[in-house]
Amino acid sequence: MLLSMEEFRAFEPEKPTYALFGWPLGHTMSPELHAQLFEASAQDADYIGVAVPPENLPEAFELAKRKLKGINCTIPHKKAVIDLLDEVDTAARDLHSVNTVAFRDGRAVGYNTDILGFAESLSRDGVKLRGKKVLLLGYGGAAAVMAYHCITQGAYLTITGRNMEKAAALQKQLCDAVPGAHVSVFNRRHIPRDIQIVLNSTPVGMFPKENAAPLHYLPHKTEYVFDAIYNPPVTATMKLANPKKTRVRDGLFMLVMQAAHAQTIWSGVQFTPQACETILRRTYGKMAVKRLHEKHGKRNIVLCGFMGSGKTTIGRKLARLTGLEFVDADQYLEAQEGKNISDIFAEHGEAYFRERESAYIRELSQRDGIVLSLGGGAVLRQENVEAVKQTGLLIHLDTPFFRIVKNLSYSNTRPLLDKPDKQAETRRLYNARKGIYHRVSDVSVRSPKISEVLEKLVKSI
């Protein structure tokens, strides 16, 4: 629920309620994210967004003290809210930035959970900062959070960006807050070559300008890249990394964990790592649907690939993750025809089957909000490709051949493989089709592990 200031004045909560204050307050993931956290911790609570103009912050704050259990603050209120607080946590005071306020016994206490979310992200990836040489891109609020954590953990920090005066101002703020901190400022042409960790706090590379990056290349000793952007989940900065030697992380886990820490501050509830991982996966799924609509202009996700590539298994998991409906085109055809595909082939031949397959694909392509798994030979007909692409993003599961052979060894219902040498026929068909799959698909995803395929698939959207 997103409220205007006028609506917030009239709002009366029916259960413990928390809110996000910001201006302007466009699409935000916070209400949905907190709803998932409430569910995971069995809290009967609500979370709303309130569009609070800067001049109305004092009034909104007083209303919140009466109506709400706590608030989050986003741009432009993170600094302005400090003057309204009774107490401020040390890190939030040093950062001049509060994103979480708890109301306790008539007092308002401010915290910064962004720094906790950032710390959790590095910890999740096993990144140790002490003694590391870190490059920070940017000098705004997110940069200050990352920088503060780095210097308090003993890193050697280099700040760069377009405006050297603002970079120098952040350097001074950090050194005043943490005497003895190792902080330097360089322009982008003179970045030290021995940088080991790169942090992007800038919005450069965010949707819709996804191909932009604040750097043209990474220092050659880079071991780890963190990008605070989470839309897209794989940013242009992350793509600069060599996957064989450099780990990468987008900002979505940081977003999830800062919200989790806010709830811990508000109510004392603790979240297990498993619960946070589940929420992270679901949030990636919701983000994939958002990008399916906004970036690709599509309504459906369509999976193609060779028989035995795992389209049905992956499709079901993807549907659960995204909240879309799953439809297996082969199973739909069998249900409509009243017989299985092997019997259709035996009674009517492959030509008849392909005609019926095309008719049902045209029908299914007109649906809205589905994950559609195609039969292995469906994309051999251009009319099928055109039909699914009208409404769907076509993704190829490029499963390694050895995995396909293993999967097919459990099946005796593949009429096209009913030959004396099943494996040789499988190889022949696979070689004949693999180029077609690559050519017709919008995206191709490859991995022998289902868990990896699912993660790559979601992030590829």
List residues with catalytic annotation: 78
Distance CA 99, CA 113 (A): 7
Instruction: Let me know: does 151 contact 157? Beta carbons within 8 Å.
Output: yes
Q: Which two tokens stand for residue 425?
A: 């026929």
Q: What are residue 144's phi and psi, to 5 degrees?
A: -60, -40
Give 318's contacts (C-beta < 8 A, 6+ positions apart).
285, 301, 303, 324, 326, 371, 454, 457, 458
Instruction: Let me know: does 236 contact 230? Beta carbons within 8 Å.
Output: no
Q: Label the pairing between strands 17-22 and 133-137.
A: unpaired
Instruction: Let me know: does 25 contact 50? Beta carbons within 8 Å.
Output: yes
Distance CA 424, CA 211 (A): 43
Q: Which two tokens stand for residue 109?
A: 């206490």
The angle, 0 to 180 degrees and rounded to 10, between the axes of the packed helices 141-152 and 164-177 is: 40
Q: Which two tokens stand for residue 84?
A: 């309204």
- Residue found by looking up tokens 């915290």 in the block: 111
183 residue type, one letter: V
Q: Which two tokens stand for residue 346?
A: 């035996």
Give 17's contacts (C-beta < 8 A, 6+ positions apart).
45, 46, 47, 48, 67, 68, 69
Q: Which two tokens stand for residue 252?
A: 């979505």
Closest-CA residue to 142 (of 84, 226, 215, 224): 226
Instruction: Let me know: does 170 contact 147? Beta carbons within 8 Å.
Output: yes
Closest-CA residue to 154 (of 170, 178, 135): 178
Distance CA 15, CA 174 (A): 41
Closest-CA residue to 170 (of 98, 77, 94): 94
Distance CA 149, CA 61 (A): 29
Distance CA 286, CA 281 (A): 9
In three-state form (DSSP H/G/I as H, E/B as E, the rest C), the secondary structure along 204-219 is: CCCCCCCCCCCCCCCC
